[in-house]
């Protein structure tokens, strides 16, 4: 952004830059950039006045720029005080398929186009042609598709503005969200926040999951500097390949998806406005009805232990259900109604303990019916192997310093872990290996999630 520089702020967080600018009347724009010493700097800009061109940073050093945008807070309940910006501009972007867009009537200004999007329940982004003053509202955006190249193309006259106030209804935590981890690659020049004194890539990932300034979609950790870089956007969104930035000190994670381990999540989208009911049907028993009125997209969640969910343990853990999508214009069954069989299957590499597993034990009972001790110190569990598991795929043994199986390990003893593979996998790696103290319950990391 160009204009008169009215102040500077040394900060490692883009949101601090925006918040400080909003407190100054003359600040109408900011530039968040890396300084000469590679330290993040925020420049406060007054765009109403012409600045000294020699004082402006070179475009390559600017991480993000922002301009003030005013709208009626009452008209946009989705934008809260914690929202650091309302829209993100992606220049020269247009839709490949117009079925995801709705045209605004007539010619309107950019400000009115953006404000109308904030008022809409399904508007994730807008496309605006400044020359034609033409606005289109989108129910897709760059951040919520897996491959942006399949949805968006380059355009000379059209810019995309992504709605950052759109409610994601997403809880970020390690149990629900999965990152695609990459070693020896990452980005340290594009970030929303840089955090110092971070001990590991795992801690950096945790900081990404608990980030309270938006949805953290990408992180990079530098082992040499112990810096953690958090970003709201993925390199895939910016058409950047992390492998082109090779560095042995870097570890990175790209947010792939967030799911819920205790329930099914059904998402639907319609080309035409939809009103109707989503329900489950089992032996003519209808349960868990959820109604929708005048929507283009809808979501429903079904707990695994509710809604007549069918559970099967063999040959692998599976949850299934019949889901009916009933169009609401009539009570009669029509061609617009759908009956879906939904199945959620636990990955077949996960071995589920058999239902008939039993515990063998003996007690010595003396006078007064007081239990003094067990006859056997070892508790033996006798499982029945599945038909598809003929033998363990791998076994791990604790060996002493002489490479003999260890019966008892004392604190300070030297030894080895012997891992034996009984199959020949194409690829095998060991991550997240922990030891647990049975008395205190504390866990100790032997091999972390980076291997």
**DSSP codes of every residue in 336-376:** T-EEEEEEEE--TTSPPPPTT-EEE--EEE-TTS-EEEES-
Looking at the fold, whether 247 and 289 belong to one and the same domain comes out as no
Q: Of 68, 97, 115, at which residue does a domain stop?
A: 68
374 belongs to a structural domain: no
| Residues pairing with 230 in the sheet | 193, 219
Which H or E run contains 125?
Answer: strand 125-129
Asked if 191 and 243 sit in the same domain, the reply is yes
User: Do 283 and 218 share a structural domain?
Assistant: no
| Within a domain: 28 | yes
Contacts by 100-106, CB closer than 8 A, 24 or more apart: 100/138, 100/139, 100/140, 100/151, 101/127, 101/136, 101/137, 101/138, 102/136, 102/137, 102/138, 103/134, 103/135, 103/136, 104/134, 104/135, 104/136, 104/137
d(CA 213, CA 230): 10
The number of domains in the chain is 4
Q: Answer yes or no: is 94 within a domain.
A: no
Q: Residue 186: left if φ>0, alpha if ψ -120 to 50, beta else—which one?
A: left
**214 assigned to some structural domain:** yes
Same domain for 284 and 248: no
Residue 427 Cα distances to 54, 127, 421, 432, angstroms? 55, 44, 12, 17
Cα atoms in the 13 Å half-sphere on the side-chain side of 197: 0
Residue 41 belongs to domain spanning? 1-68
How far, CA to CA in Å, does 10 sit from each of 100, 119, 193, 230, 427? 42, 36, 12, 18, 46
**Would you say residue 372 lies in a domain?**
no
Residue 448 lies in a domain: yes
Is 354 within the bounds of a domain? no
Question: Tokens for 151?
Answer: 């949805």
Domain boundary among 68, 90, 119: 68
User: What is the C-alpha to C-alpha distance for residues 441 and 103, in angstroms, rounded to an integer?
Assistant: 60
> At 201, which CATH number?
3.50.4.10
User: Rounded to whole angstroms, how far apart are CA atoms 98 and 50?
Assistant: 40
- Go through the chain and tell me how many residues it has: 451
Task: Determine the straight-line distance between the first and last CA of the chain, rounded to whole angstroms.
Answer: 43
Q: Which of 10, 149, 166 is nearest to 85 (CA)?
A: 166
115 in a domain, yes or no?
no
Residues 250 and 271 in one domain: no
Burial classification of residue 322, based on how many CB atoms lie within 10 Å of its CB (0-12 exposed, 13-18 middle, 19 or more buried): middle
**Tens-digit pLDDT profile for the chain (451 aa)?**
788 899 999 999 999 999 899 888 899 999 999 876 778 899 999 988 887 777 777 877 888 899 887 765 555 556 666 677 888 999 999 999 888 888 888 889 998 999 888 887 788 899 999 999 999 999 888 887 777 888 899 999 999 999 888 766 555 655 566 788 888 889 988 899 999 999 999 899 989 988 888 788 999 999 999 999 999 988 878 778 777 788 899 999 988 766 555 667 777 777 778 888 888 887 777 788 888 888 888 778 777 778 888 888 776 677 788 888 888 888 888 878 888 887 776 544 444 444 444 555 555 555 555 555 544 444 444 444 343 344 567 788 888 888 888 877 887 888 888 888 777 655 567 777 888 776 776 778 888 766 6
């Amino acid at each position: 952004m160009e204009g008169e520089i009215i102040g500077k702020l040394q900060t490692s967080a883009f949101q601090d830059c925006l918040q400080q600018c909003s407190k100054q009347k003359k600040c109408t724009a900011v530039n968040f950039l890396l300084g000469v010493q590679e330290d993040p700097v925020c420049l406060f800009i007054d765009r109403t006045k012409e600045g000294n061109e020699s004082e402006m940073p070179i475009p390559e050093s600017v991480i993000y720029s922002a301009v003030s945008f005013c709208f009626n807070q009452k008209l946009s309940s989705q934008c809260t005080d914690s929202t650091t910006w309302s829209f993100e501009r992606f220049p020269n972007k247009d839709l490949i398929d117009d079925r995801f867009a709705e045209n605004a009537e007539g010619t309107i200004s950019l400000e009115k186009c953006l404000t109308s999007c904030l008022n809409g329940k399904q508007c994730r982004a807008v496309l605006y042609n400044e020359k034609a003053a033409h606005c289109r509202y989108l129910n897709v955006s760059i951040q919520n598709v897996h491959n942006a190249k399949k949805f968006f193309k380059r355009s000379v006259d059209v810019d995309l503005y992504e709605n950052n106030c759109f409610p994601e209804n997403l809880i970020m935590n390690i149990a629900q969200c999965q990152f695609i981890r990459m070693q020896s690659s990452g980005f340290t020049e594009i970030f929303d926040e840089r955090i110092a004194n971070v001990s590991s890539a795992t801690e950096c990932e945790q900081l990404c999951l608990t980030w309270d300034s938006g949805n953290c979609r990408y992180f990079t950790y530098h082992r040499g500097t112990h810096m953690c870089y958090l970003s709201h956007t993925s390199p895939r969104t910016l058409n950047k390949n992390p492998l082109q930035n090779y560095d042995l000190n870097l570890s990175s994670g790209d947010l792939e998806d967030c799911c819920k381990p205790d329930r099914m999540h059904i998402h639907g989208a319609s080309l035409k406005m939809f009103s109707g009911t989503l329900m489950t049907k089992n032996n003519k028993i209808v349960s868990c009805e959820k109604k929708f009125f005048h929507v283009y997209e809808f979501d429903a969640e079904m707990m695994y232990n509710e809604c007549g969910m069918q559970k099967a343990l063999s040959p692998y853990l599976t949850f299934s259900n019949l889901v009916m999508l009933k169009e609401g214009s009539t009570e009669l069954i029509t061609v617009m109604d759908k009956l879906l069989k939904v199945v959620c299957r636990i990955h077949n590499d996960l071995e589920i303990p058999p239902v008939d597993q039993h515990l063998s034990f003996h007690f010595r009972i003396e006078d007064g019916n007081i239990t003094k001790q067990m006859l056997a110190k070892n508790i033996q569990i006798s499982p029945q192997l599945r038909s598809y598991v003929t033998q363990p795929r791998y076994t791990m043994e604790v060996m002493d310093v002489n490479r003999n199986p260890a019966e008892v390990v004392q604190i300070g003893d030297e030894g080895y872990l012997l891992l034996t593979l009984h199959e020949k996998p194409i690829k095998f790696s060991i991550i997240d290996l922990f030891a647990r103290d049975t008395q205190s319950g504390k866990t100790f990391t032997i091999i972390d999630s980076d291997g």
